[in-house]
Chain A
C-alpha cells in the first residue's frame, strides 16, 4: 500500500519536480505560533512538514535550531504539544513527519508514540540518532501503525551502511548533504550529489537532501538531482529573527510565506545536474 509520502513523491515525479520539505520546531515561539507558521509555510508551497520535537541536548543542531528549541522548552513545550501540533498541521492535508532525537520517543514508549502519532494524523518520523542497529522496536511500532520511519545517510556512510539504512527506511531516505550540524551554508556541498547517486544504487526509494539549503537557487540546484529538498534552519531563522527584532507575529508569518514561496519556486525549476 502506498503511504501518503509515497503518493506525494510519485505525484511530484510526474510533475517533473522535487518535493519541498520544511522544518520548524513545535512550540516556537508558542505552540499556537508554531502551528500558524507551519500552516503558513504549507499555504506558500511547502509539500511536507517536519515538526521538530525540541530536546534538551540537540547534539546535531547548530545555533539557530538550538536557540529555538531552548526557547520552546523554556516555554514548557512537551511531547503532548508536539502531537497536538502534528494534528493541527496534518489538517492542512500535507504529510507531517515528526523530527526527533530518540530519547523522547524512548521515554514516551515507542508503541505508544507510534499509536498517538498515527492518531494525530502523522505520516511518520525522522530519527537522526537512532541507528538501524537499535531500531527494531521503532520499526515494529511504525509498521503496526502505518507510519513511515525515515533514516539518514551521510557522506561518510559506506555502501554497506547505505544499503542497511535504505533497507529499513520507508517514504524516503534522508541524505545529509555534508558532515556537520544543521545551519545555513553559503553553498550546498558537492558531496550531496555524489551521495544521492550512491543511495540510488541501493534503493528505489526517493532521496531527499537536507542540511544547508536556504535559498531558492540552492533548492533549484538540489532539485536537479534529488527527489526532495529539506529546509530547516533558514525557516527557523526567520522566526528567530522576528522574535529578536520584535517584528511581530504577522511579520514573522509573512517572512515564512515569502521564503517558502521562493523555495517552492526553486524546486519547480530544477537545475539539471552536470553529468
Chain B
C-alpha cells in the first residue's frame, strides 16, 4: 500500500489557489504525492459533505492510516485475499482472441475468478475488516449491477456485520438475481424509488442513512469515489490487481506491457490495475468509459468525454451535468458503469495526460462480449466487455510486437439475461421474445 512521503503537499487550512496543470504534471511524476492530506488529486477530490459527516471521515482516515501501518491488519487482509477470495488471480494468455483481433498479444488479468465474481471483493474485504476494527456493527453499501452489493453482503456474512444495501428500483428489476443473492447472504436490500432510481440515487440514499447512523455504521463505498479518504482507500485496496499483474506480465513476457486497459464506472478496477504502473511512463494507461447509445446522442455515461468539472457525491471531478449544475441521468447497457461521475484520481490522470480515456458504446461492448466468449470460453461481465472492446482497438493500433494487458474485472453470469435479449437467444418458451433482439435496448 502507498505510504505518505515528505513530497506530499502541505495540508491546506482553507482552499488554496488551484495548482496549474503544469505543476500538477510535475508532481504527478511522484505518484505517491496524491492525494494530499485533505484528499485532493490536483484540483479534484476533496470532501464536499455536510459537517455532520466530517468527524466520521476524520475518524475513518485516522483508522485507515493506522490499519495500513499495522502488520496484523495487513496480514489478516492478505490471508483473507488468499484463502477466501482466491488471490492471486491468474494471468491468461488470450491466444485465440489475439489471433482474431490481429494485433498485439492480449493478456487478461482474471478478476472474474475472484470470489463473488469480480474485483469488488478486494475493496470490500479491506473496508469490512476496517469497519470491524473501528467497532462498527453495521455496514451499508450502494450497488448498481449488484456486484458490489453481493461482495459487501458476502464480507458482512463472513465477518458477522449487519448489512443493508441500497439499490435503485430500476436496477433491482434489471439485476433481480443479484437481489436474491444478497438476500440469501443475509443482507437487507432496500429499493430506492427517488430520482432516476439508479446507482446515483442509491448513493444519495446511503448517504442519508449514514448521516443518521454514523456512530455504529460504516458506509462501504464501492468505487474510487466519494469524499476523502474513500478514493484513496479504495484505490489502495484495489492496487493488488496491478501489483500482481505487473509481476505476472514481467514473468510471462520478460518486459512490461505496452498498454493497460480497463473499464471505468467509478473507476476502481481501473485505478487498481493502473496505479502500480503510473511510474512506468512507457506503459500507456487507457480507461474505457461507457458510451451507451453514443456520446453524440446524449444517452451515455462518459463523464470525461461528455462531462465537465463539478461536485457530486462529496468529490470534485468530471460529471454529466447541465448548465445549472444539475446532474444528468447516465445511460449504459451496463448497470455497473451507469454512473454520471468518475473517481477524482482519474480526473487527474486525464488532465495530466498520464492516462487516456476512450468511449465504448453498448453495441461495441456487446460485440466484444460475444467474441471473447467464443474465442476464449470466458463469459465476461458487460462492464468488462467495454475494456475488451477498447483493447481490441489498442491492440490493432500497437501491432503484433506489442503486449496489451486487459483487466477482466468480472464474470458475466449476472448478465446472461441481458445478453440473451440483446442477441435474441431466447425463444418464446424461454420467456423473452426473439424479436427483442440485436440492436434493441434490452432495458426497455
Residues of A within 8 A of B207 (CB): 59
Instruction: Identify which of B54, B201, B310 contacts A106 (C-beta below 8 A).
Output: B310
The total of Cβ contacts below 8 Å across the A-B interface reads 130
A55 to B123, CA, bound (A): 31
Q: Say yes or no: is A92 at the interface (Cβ < 8 Å to chain B).
A: no
Interface hit among A11-19, A114-122, A133-141, A213-221:
A133-141
Which residues in window 49-80 of A have CB below 8 A to B?
A: 55-63, 66, 70, 73, 78-79
Please, how many angstroms separate the alpha-carbon atoms of A158 and B58 in the complex?
A: 11
Q: Is B16 an interface residue (CB 8 A)?
A: yes
- B210 CB to closest chain A CB (Å) equals 9
Say yes or no: A60 contacts B323, CB within 8 Å.
Answer: no
Asked if A152 contacts B313 (CB within 8 A), the reply is: no
Determine if B324 and A131 form an interchain contact, defined as CB atoms under 8 angstroms apart: no
- Interface status of B332 (Cβ within 8 A of chain A): no
Do the beta carbons of B325 and A133 come within 8 Å of each other? no
Q: Are B200 and A133 in contact (CB under 8 A)?
A: no
Q: How far is the CA of A58 from the CA of B312 in the complex (A)?
A: 10
Asked if B214 and A179 make an inter-chain contact with CB atoms under 8 angstroms apart, the answer reads: yes
Q: Find the A residue at minimum CB distance from B15.
A: A136
A161 within 8 A of B: yes
Min distance, Cβ A143 to any Cβ of chain B, angstroms: 13
Residues of B within 8 A of A56 (CB): 195, 326-327
B55 touches A156 (CB 8 A): yes
Q: Are A134 and B15 in contact (CB under 8 A)?
A: yes
Interface string of B1-41 (1 = CB under 8 A from A): 00000000000111110000000000000000000001000
How far apart are the CA atoms of A128 and B50 in the complex, in Å? 6
Task: For chain A, residues 12 to 66, give those with C-beta under 8 angstroms from any C-beta of chain B.
Answer: 55-63, 66
- List A residues 97-133 near B (Cβ within 8 Å): 102-108, 128-133
For B200, list chain A residues within 8 Å (CB): 57
CA distance A106 to B324 in the complex (A): 9
**B327 near A161 (CB under 8 angstroms)?**
no
Does B52 contact A107, Cβ atoms closer than 8 Å?
A: no
- CB of B311 within 8 A of CB of A55, answer no
Chain B hits for A181, CB < 8 A: 208, 211-212
Q: Determine if B46 and A133 form an interchain contact, defined as CB atoms under 8 angstroms apart.
A: yes
Q: Which residue in chain B gives the minimum CB-CB distance to A161? A: B54
Quote the shortest CB–CB distance from B359 to chain A (angstroms): 23
B51 touches A152 (CB 8 A): yes
Q: Decide if B56 is an interface residue (CB 8 Å cutoff).
A: yes
Q: Does A151 contact B (CB under 8 A)?
A: yes
B66 in contact (CB, < 8 A): no
Contacts of A129 in B (CB 8 A): 48-50, 311, 314
Q: Is B194 an interface residue (CB 8 A)?
A: yes
Bound: A2/B296 CA distance, A: 52
Question: How far does the alpha carbon of A139 sit from the alpha carbon of B15 in the complex, in Å?
Answer: 11
Least CB separation from B206: chain A residue: A59
A132 and B325 contact, CB distance less than 8 A: no
Q: Which of B210-261 contact A (CB under 8 A)?
A: 211-212, 214-215
Q: CA separation between A79 and B214, bound complex, in Å? A: 33
Partner of B324, one of A61, A78, A133, A180: A78
Specify which of A66, A137, A154, A180 is in contact with B15 (CB 8 Å cutoff): A137
Q: Does residue A192 face the partner (Cβ distance < 8 Å to B)?
A: no
Q: B312–A158 contact, CB under 8 A?
A: no
Complex interface: chain A residues within 8 A of B212 (CB): 179-181
Interface flag for B204 (CB, 8 Å): yes
Complex interface: chain B residues within 8 A of A128 (CB): 50-51
Which of the residues B53, B195, B310 comes within 8 Å of A103, measured between beta carbons? B310
| A155 in the interface (beta carbon within 8 A) | yes
* Given A59-B204, A106-B310, A181-B211, residue A154 in contact with residue B16 (CB < 8 A): no
Contact (Cβ within 8 A) B211 A179: yes
B105-119, CB < 8 A from A: none
Question: Binary interface profile of B, 286-327, with partner A (CB < 8 Å = 1, else 0)?
Answer: 000000000000000000000000111110100001011111
Q: How far is the CA of A170 from the CA of B15 in the complex (A)?
A: 18
Q: Are B313 and A106 in contact (CB under 8 A)?
A: no
- Pick from A62, A108, A129, A154 the residue with the most CB of B within 10 Å: A129
A165 contacts B by Cβ under 8 Å: yes
Least distance between A179 CB and chain B CB atoms (Å): 5
B224 to chain A, nearest CB (A): 19
CB distance from B271 to the nearest CB of A (A): 23
**Nearest Cβ on chain A to B41's Cβ, whole angstroms:** 14
Say whether A157 contacts B312, CB under 8 Å: no
B47 contacts the other chain (Cβ, under 8 Å)? yes
Give Cα distance in the complex from A155 to B327, angstroms.
30
CB < 8 Å neighbour of A70 from B52, B195, B325: B195
Which residues from B are CB-within-8-Å of A223? none
Contacts of B326 in A (CB 8 A): 55-56, 73, 104
Do the beta carbons of B46 and A134 come within 8 Å of each other?
A: yes
Cβ–Cβ contact A131 & B312, under 8 A: no
Instruction: Tell me, rounded to whole Å, the shortest Cβ–Cβ distance linking B31 to chain A.
Output: 23
How many angstroms from the CA of A108 to the CA of B127 in the assembled complex? Answer: 37
Q: Binary interface profile of A, 152-186, with partner B (CB < 8 Å = 1, else 0)?
A: 11111110010001001000000010011100000
Provide 22 A-B residue pairs closer than 8 Å at the C-beta atoms, listed in order of the A residue.
Answer: A57-B195, A57-B313, A57-B327, A102-B311, A103-B327, A104-B325, A107-B321, A107-B325, A128-B51, A129-B50, A131-B54, A134-B15, A136-B14, A151-B51, A153-B51, A156-B52, A156-B56, A161-B55, A165-B51, A179-B52, A180-B211, A181-B211
Given contacts A133-B14, A157-B51, 8 further A-B contacts (CB under 8 A): A57-B200, A102-B48, A108-B325, A134-B48, A155-B52, A156-B51, A179-B215, A180-B212
Q: Which 5 A-B pairs have the closest CB atoms?
A: A107-B325, A154-B52, A180-B212, A104-B325, A156-B55
**A contact set with B: CB distance below 8 Å:** 55-63, 66, 70, 73, 78-79, 102-108, 128-137, 139, 151-158, 161, 165, 168, 176, 179-181
